Structure 1
């Protein structure tokens, strides 16, 4: 399980809310889950880094690596969000 701290005003950059989710990290993560399932983590990880950077989110390298493995293996990934 990963953990990320985000400001309340930045929550929409992380979580798709249906109204303005076109740039959310969650939308990009789900898209990679559909398109890169079974691919090597080395191909997925740079794409996750780009998505996190575009959403201005500070995931650790280990969090992104765990997410890449979850996409590769098509397994759930739990993320604890701390609002600051």
Structure 2
């Protein structure tokens, strides 16, 4: 997982965040009791605790979607970082 990505600090931080997302998504999948609100709260907490990741995600959204509208399902393919 992530072997083809360089080991610079940013890449390592991103791989660690993705590993955490994968770990917790399995817990949510099998538990089945957490609500969407709890899942969103967890995701937002991770973004707020990783300001550089949040900054990159926001920059990607602004560049691909713009600031005038909300993200639509059709935008997902244009947001590889997110």
Q: Taking structure 1 as the reference length, what is the TM-score of the superposition?
A: 0.44
Name the structure with the higher strand share: 1
Q: Taking structure 2 as the reference length, what is the TM-score of the superposition?
A: 0.45
Higher gyration radius (CA): 2
Name the structure with the higher helix share: 2
Identify which of structures 1 and 2 has the higher relative contact order when contacts are C-alpha pairs closer than 8 Å and 6+ apart. Answer: 1
